[in-house]
């Protein structure tokens, strides 16, 4: 059998042919995993399954008050509004004037028990009565005492609570207001009401509680509640990053932005196995996110968005057990309000992840 031989003239062409094949394969492989210049790729947005439909990713679904928040209470005194009935309340001043027995005239302030004391008849419960109702009540009580029990009622002072409130509040350019800080026990103190537990509630929920409380004391009083300063919109980035810790956020951000806040990854960080941990009811739910896929900017790449109190854990090795994630987090830092008594779940964020439980 004759051996196949190449001439000195043919050898360079064959070598060039193989080089072209190798370079083509490299270029083809590169085009399949990177985004070509000038091409636009639509990037989807995602989060945990139980939060995906709650609200657009651009803003927080809701803000719940936490210790350290500063609340601004703006009071409005609506004395100009007409009431269907004027009813006597605690601390109102009542003048009882007798037409034919001036010596019995009395000026009484309604006591906390809702009563006033008058000559000959003693205590009379007046709380919640209208002027007409009280007039008829007193005429009936005095008919056996006086020959002509003609009398009338005047209420010269019925806004003493408002006066005390005005004296207690600071006058601001926008009206009567008071700043109050939510204490570590979750309570905040409000004028004329006292301590109210506000932690974990939304601003509208607390506003409703306050207005119901003020309505019982003074129907003319209304308050609006504002969040002056928040301290609860934070995320935590731990693991293989340059500056692990907590970071305040004013809007939902992606994992990529969170890593930049933490100074970026350090050598050894496993970007294809980043964990995001979020509390859902009484369960700590962890999901694995492949950031390398996101950075490839392919058609199936997705930006994962974070919410306040999320933990981003960048591991150094592949982790498959939910309990292992919990142990690693507990070894690094203890998070406010995140007890280890919660049950843990570990979910997949992509089809390439294999998780054992």
Q: Residue 206's pLDDT is what? A: 95
The tally of CA atoms less than 13 A away on the side-chain side of residue 175 is: 11
**Whole-angstrom Cα distance, residue 143 to residue 72?**
53
Asked if 328 and 315 count as a contact pair (C-beta separation under 8 A), the reply is: yes
Asked if 94 and 157 count as a contact pair (C-beta separation under 8 A), the reply is: no
| Domains, the chain, ordered by start | 41-61+233-348 (3.10.560.10), 70-79+161-229 (3.30.1950.10), 93-158 (3.30.1950.10)
Q: Residue 181's pLDDT is what? A: 93
Asked if 50 and 163 count as a contact pair (C-beta separation under 8 A), the reply is: no
Beta bridge partners of 238: 313
Q: Residue 140's pLDDT is what? A: 92
**Comparing C-alpha atoms, which of 305, 308, 276, 270 is closest to residue 289?**
276
Can you read off the two tokens belonging to residue 61?
């679904």
**Whole-angstrom Cα distance, residue 351 to residue 334?**
31
Q: DSSP label at 258? A: H
Question: What averages of pLDDT result for each successive group of 10 residues across the chain (357 residues)?
Answer: 49 48 42 58 72 68 85 75 69 89 89 90 90 92 89 77 61 68 93 89 94 78 87 84 87 88 88 85 81 74 83 78 59 47 48 35
**Whole-angstrom Cα distance, residue 304 to residue 253?**
8
SS3 216: helix
Q: Residue 225's pLDDT is what? A: 92
**Whole-angstrom Cα distance, residue 306 to residue 274?**
13
Asked if 277 and 313 count as a contact pair (C-beta separation under 8 A), the reply is: yes
Pairing of strands 283-289, 221-229: unpaired
Q: Is the pTM of this model over 0.75?
A: no
Q: Residue 158's pLDDT is what? A: 62
- What is the side-by-side strand order in the sheet with 70-77? 170-172, 175-181, 70-77, 221-229
């Amino acid at each position: 059998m004759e051996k196949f031989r190449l001439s000195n003239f043919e050898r360079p062409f064959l070598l060039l042919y193989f080089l072209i094949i190798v370079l083509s394969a490299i270029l083809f492989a590169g085009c399949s995993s990177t985004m070509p210049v000038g091409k636009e790729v639509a990037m989807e947005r995602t989060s945990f399954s139980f939060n995906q439909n709650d609200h657009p990713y651009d803003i927080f679904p809701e803000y719940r008050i936490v210790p350290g928040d500063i609340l601004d209470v703006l009071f409005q005194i609506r004395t100009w509004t007409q009431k269907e009935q004027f009813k006597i309340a605690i601390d109102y001043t009542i003048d009882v004037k007798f037409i034919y027995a001036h010596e019995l005239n009395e000026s009484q302030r309604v006591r906390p028990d809702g009563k006033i004391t008058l000559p000959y008849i003693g205590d009379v419960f007046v709380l919640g009565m209208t002027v007409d109702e009280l007039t008829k009540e007193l005429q009936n009580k005095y008919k056996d005492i006086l020959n002509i029990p003609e009398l009338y009622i005047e209420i010269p002072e019925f806004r003493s609570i408002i006066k005390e409130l005005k004296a207690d509040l600071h006058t601001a350019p926008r009206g009567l207001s008071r700043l109050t800080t939510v204490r570590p026990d979750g309570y905040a103190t409000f004028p004329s009401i006292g301590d109210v537990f506000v932690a974990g509630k939304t601003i509208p929920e607390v506003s409703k509680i306050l207005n119901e409380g003020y309505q019982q004391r003074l129907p003319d009083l209304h308050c609006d509640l504002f969040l002056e300063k928040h301290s609860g919109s934070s995320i935590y980035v731990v693991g293989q990053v340059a500056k692990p810790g907590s970071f305040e956020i004013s809007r939902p951000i992606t994992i990529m932005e969170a890593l930049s806040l933490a100074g970026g990854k350090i050598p050894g960080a496993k970007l294809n196995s980043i964990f995001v941990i979020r509390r859902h009811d009484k369960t700590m739910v962890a999901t694995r996110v492949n950031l390398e896929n996101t950075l490839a900017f392919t058609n199936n790449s997705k930006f994962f968005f974070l919410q306040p109190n999320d933990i981003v854990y960048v591991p150094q090795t592949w982790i498959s057990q939910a309990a292992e994630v919990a142990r690693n987090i507990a070894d690094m830092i203890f998070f406010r309000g995140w007890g280890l008594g919660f049950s843990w779940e570990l979910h997949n964020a992509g089809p390439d992840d294999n998780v054992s439980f």
